[in-house]
Amino acid sequence: MVKFSIITCTYNAAMVLGRTMKSVAEQVYPYYEHIIMDGCSSDRTMSVAQEYAEKDERVIVHSEKDNGLYDAMNKALNLVTGDYVVFLNAGDKLFNDTTLEDIAEKLKYGNKPSVIYGYTDIVDNAGIFLHPRRLQPPRNLTWQSFKWGMLVCHQAFYARADLAKMTPYDTAYKYSADVDWCIRVMKAGEADGAKTLNTNLTLCDYLDGGMTTANQWKSLKERFRVMVKHYGIGTTLLTHTWFCLKALGRALNRNIRKIKNKKHKKTNNKK
């Protein structure tokens, strides 16, 4: 049976870690390990993690100093013993209690895709559904797909463990190493003759916000460098011009709706 390695890297995440660990602990599919890689938190993060580890030997907890999130992710990759690995941030959740079982069912015919992927829902701090993730995965994902943006959320991207371990995160990036890593994993899979697998399922609830959102401008500049590295300056400029035009179009539509709403309210007030 296929075994999944779920990695959660933490630092002072006691307020949100419990719901992540609960969503993993509730999986009906038994073949997984949940690796908690903590960066020496000063809050109750370790207490929350240890509470689950004491009840379930599949929960593996480590706490040591690191040089940032992506360094912690690399440390966790070294501990992986499963067939597929996914990074689930503290605060994020597996979509439901059959998520791993549903993915495993897609693999029952013995194929070993390089990457298994699906859809993502965005939730608020209370875990309440807000909306589906704006960027949607294509029917057939390749490393070339990401020139149009990160079409698959990191938390819905299950990489074959052997490819993931031979392709560590580039810690020279502070905000967008996940984009670079996903592209390189898919390149390695293509070189190995493996295809990706679209589950056509929603695989995770993603907590709105996070490190990249908090540092959005720096992240965008770094992501541009990642795109140039993989797709060249010409293609990257063309795709980013398209992104800007779409963003302007969305902003224009929002303004038009606001103006229409104001006019509608004025008309109703006169009545």
Please write the tens of the pLDDT for every residue from 11-69: 999 999 999 999 999 999 999 999 999 999 999 999 999 999 999 999 999 999 999 99
- Name the band, by pLDDT with cuts 50, 70 and 90, for residue 249: low
- Domain positions in the chain are 4-216, 232-271
* Whole-number pLDDT of residue 192: 94
263: confidence class by pLDDT, cuts 50, 70, 90: low
- What pLDDT score was predicted for residue 84? 98
Q: Report the residue count for the chain.
A: 271
CB 132 within 8 A of CB 201: no
Say if residues 108 and 6 touch (Cβ distance below 8 Å). no
C-alpha distance from residue 16 to each of 68, 94, 201 (Å): 19, 14, 24
Task: Provide the CATH topology of domain 4-216.
Answer: Spore Coat Polysaccharide Biosynthesis Protein SpsA; Chain A (3.90.550)
Token duo for residue 90: 């503290």
Identify the pLDDT of residue 16. 93
Question: 79-109: per-residue pLDDT in tens?
Answer: 999 999 999 999 999 999 999 999 999 987 7
How far apart CA 73 and CA 100 sit, in angstroms, is 21
232: left (phi over 0), alpha (psi -120 to 50) or beta: left
Q: Say if CB 172 and CB 66 are below 8 A apart.
A: no
Quote the CA–CA distance of 259 and 271 in Å, as a whole number: 19
Please tell me the predicted confidence (pLDDT) of residue 214.
Answer: 57
Backbone angles phi, psi at 98, to 5 degrees: -110, 10
What pLDDT is attached to residue 185? 98
Give the model confidence (pLDDT) of 123-181 as tens digits: 988 888 999 998 899 999 999 999 988 999 999 999 999 999 999 999 999 999 999 99
- Judge contact between 114 and 159, C-beta under 8 A: yes
